[in-house]
Amino acid sequence: MMPLERLCCQNSKCAMYGRRGAENLSVCGWIDRRRTIRQLYCRLCKARFSERKGTPLYNAKLPAGKVVAILDHVREGCGVRQTGRLVGVSKNTANRYILLAGSHAKALHDELVAFSP
């Protein structure tokens, strides 16, 4: 599981929105019956949300391993149709997760590469 220091409040109206390691989060329950996805609580804004919110896995119908397999195939240069065939999902499903991961990767890139030399 991801350490809480690497997660942040997902409430856009919260003062701690997007700030990692602020120690404002705690685990208050589980999202699924198998207890694999934690529900987080922000002490500042009192919001509760899934630890997957803001990621390509949020509300994913596929198992996380299959989503990772889709993204691994794309990373290795496979096309959308080929990825769908290899993973066993439709091309539309593969494309949906690829687009979600792409927008997430862009936001992460913008955060990590804030200053250009």
Residues in contact with Zn ion by the rule CB under 5 A: 9, 11, 14, 16, 42, 44-45
Q: Between residues 13 and 35, which has the closer beta carbon with respect to Zn ion? A: 13
Q: 73 by DSSP, 3-state: which?
A: helix
Q: How far apart are CA 96 and CA 93, in angstroms?
A: 5
Between residues 26 and 103, which has the closer beta carbon with respect to Zn ion?
26
Distance in Å, CB of 19 to Zn ion, minimum: 9
The residues, any chain, with a CB within 8 Å of residue 46's CB and separated by 6 or more, are: none
In whole angstroms, how far apart are CA 102 and each of 32, 52, 74, 97, 106? 26, 16, 11, 8, 6
Residue 48 CB, shortest distance to Zn ion, in Å, is 10
Minimum CB separation from Zn ion for residue 17, in Å? 6
Residue with Cβ nearer Zn ion (8 or 67)? 8
75 SS3 class = helix
| Smallest separation, CB 41 to Zn ion (Å) | 9
Distances (CA, A) of 34 to 30, 31, 37, 67: 8, 9, 8, 18
